[in-house]
Amino acid sequence: MKRPPFTPTIAALPKLVPFVGPETMARSRGRPFRARLGANESSFGPSPRAVEAMRAAADQNWKYSDPENYELRTAIAAFHNVAIEHVVVGEGIDGLLGLTCMLFLSPGEGAVTTEGAYPTFNFHVQAHGGRLLMVPMRELREDLPALRDAAAGTGARMLYVSNPNSPMGTHWDAAHLNAFIASLPDGVMLLLDEAYCDTAPPGTVPAIDAGNPQVIRYRTFSKAYGLAGARIGYAIAARDVIEAFDKVRNHYGINRVGQIGALAALQDQEYLRHAVGSIDAARNRISAIARDCGLVPLQSAASFVAIDCGGDGNFAKRVLDELLARDVFARKPVVSNLDRFIRVSCGVDADIDIFAAELPKALETARRG
Ligand SMILES: Cc1ncc(COP(=O)(O)O)c(C=O)c1O
């Protein structure tokens, strides 16, 4: 018996475990974490109205979801003041990024991104046989002019920007982004990942121009809306781009309970404001805890704080390992110009209390080497 070969693209890829999740880590450690502050989820949770809607939907889960996501798309379209034909719903931004590669990237073609930026885009590019072109961050921000020049100079098909970005939480304001969008070279699609836009300061998010043929805006219910497990995201783009998503998307891929929960969450903007306030308070608290320990937190527009541990990458790794050993799940960037940071997600006070208690001990042990 002989199986067919993998496609050349897949055969050429190294064995890959993209994300080691906290569940995997807990299994290998033999015990759970006490504070889950590593995956940029929101432990403040979703709107109680969303919870109630999902509870009520549970026993109807024998039904497939509406493959057109009609009610959710209608609500999203109204929320952003665009026509429903400009909206596609997907399995989180992650799923939509993969579909976007299917639409625009043939094997061998280029996709520009920032070194150390959100890696899921990279996995999708590689799985589609694309060529990744990396631009380093500049002063801990995505370097918009250099990203544009890289796209222009290489004929790349796609350019990925997250604003605010992960893993640093830094951002550009709308004026800079609009100038950047206006300067895009022809033939490139800007994938603007706005996963963290809800927690960004006013003036960060450019007005949506759904007719712009070169921009796709990505949003998610995973972050401030507190529904990471529901796996619901959406994209807003020109009509022909949204129509093309219908050629490749998994029409029954959206889970029904998540679809209903996301709709209820969107309709409860008062709760969203409350959650954003809680995230902001946690951000301030994490920053204060870092400062109390002599570390330097970055000003963050996202739902996490990147903390400069004040040494090199090895030292930050030791700090992170000590936190993990003390049952605090956090993460750190790995690329060389960002690896002196650890990244701590905002969360409920009980979790931040544990972080506050454990960070000084983790640092002390890390400093002893
Ligand atoms: C920049 C960025 N984009 C997208 C995602 C994932 O979004 P989703 O849960 O909608 O797939 C994350 C999650 O950490 C992220 O940091």
Burial of 294 from C-beta contacts in 10 A (0-12 / 13-18 / 19+): exposed
Q: What is the CA(1)–ligand 1 centre distance, in A?
A: 41
Query: Which alpha helices (DSSP H) does the chain contain, by range?
Result: 8-12, 22-29, 48-58, 70-80, 92-104, 120-127, 144-154, 174-182, 239-248, 256-266, 269-292, 313-325, 349-368
Q: Which among 93, 161, 172, 231 is the best mutation to test ligand 1's pocket, defined by most ligand atoms within 8 Å of the CB?
A: 93
**Nearest CA residue ID for atom 16, ligand 1:** 166
Closest to 98 in 3D by CA, of 114, 117, 116, 122: 122
Predicted pLDDT of residue 14: 86
**Nearest CA residue ID for atom 7, ligand 1:** 93
The percent of residues above 90 in pLDDT, for the chain, comes to 97
Predicted pLDDT of residue 89: 98
Q: Does the pLDDT value for residue 138 go beyond 90?
A: yes
Q: What is the CA(187)–ligand 1 centre distance, in A?
A: 26
Q: What is the CA(116)–ligand 1 centre distance, in A?
A: 14
Cα end-to-end span (Å), the chain? 54
Q: Which among 171, 223, 231, 254 is the best mutation to test ligand 1's pocket, defined by most ligand atoms within 8 Å of the CB?
A: 223
**Nearest CA residue ID for atom 3, ligand 1:** 195
Predicted pLDDT of residue 16: 76
190 neighbors 101 (Cβ within 8 angstroms): no
Mean pLDDT to the nearest integer, 137-144: 97
Amino acid occupying residue 64? Y
Predicted pLDDT of residue 339: 96
Q: How far apart are CA 259 and CA 243, in angstroms?
A: 20
Mean pLDDT to the nearest integer, 323-346: 96
| Nearest ligand 1 atom to alpha carbon 117 | 1
46 neighbors 232 (Cβ within 8 angstroms): no
Q: What is the CA(234)–ligand 1 centre distance, in A?
A: 12
Q: Spell out the residues 6+ positions from residue 281 whose beta carbon is closer than 8 angstroms to its own.
A: none
Q: What is the CA(93)–ligand 1 centre distance, in A?
A: 6
Summarised one tens digit per residue, pLDDT across range 181-211 is: 999 999 999 999 999 999 999 999 999 999 9
| Nearest ligand 1 atom to alpha carbon 165 | 1
Predicted pLDDT of residue 19: 81
Q: What is the CA(55)–ligand 1 centre distance, in A?
A: 25
Summarised one tens digit per residue, pLDDT across range 336-362 is: 889 999 999 999 999 999 999 999 999
| Nearest ligand 1 atom to alpha carbon 91 | 11
**Nearest CA residue ID for atom 10, ligand 1:** 92
Predicted pLDDT of residue 369: 78
Predicted pLDDT of residue 91: 98
| Nearest ligand 1 atom to alpha carbon 40 | 14
Ligand 1 residue neighbourhood (C-beta within 6 Å): 40, 92-94, 118, 162, 166, 193, 195, 220, 222, 228, 233
pTM greater than the 0.85 cutoff: yes
φ, ψ (nearest 5 deg) of residue 88: -125, 140
**Nearest CA residue ID for atom 8, ligand 1:** 92
Confidence band for 10, pLDDT divided at 50, 70 and 90? very high
Mean pLDDT to the nearest integer, 122-140: 96
**Three-state secondary structure call for residue 357:** helix
Q: What is the CA(327)–ligand 1 centre distance, in A?
A: 24
| Nearest ligand 1 atom to alpha carbon 118 | 1
Summarised one tens digit per residue, pLDDT across range 85-117 is: 999 999 999 999 999 999 999 999 999 999 999
Closest to 94 in 3D by CA, of 242, 22, 193: 193
| Nearest ligand 1 atom to alpha carbon 302 | 16
Summarised one tens digit per residue, pLDDT across range 245-261 is: 999 999 999 999 999 99
- Enter the DSSP assignment of 249: S
Neighbours of 310 (CB within 10 A): 15
Q: Which among 89, 222, 225, 329 is the best mutation to test ligand 1's pocket, defined by most ligand atoms within 8 Å of the CB?
A: 222
The percent of residues above 70 in pLDDT, for the chain, comes to 100
- Quick one: angle between helices 48-58 and 256-266, nearest 10? 150
223 neighbors 42 (Cβ within 8 angstroms): yes
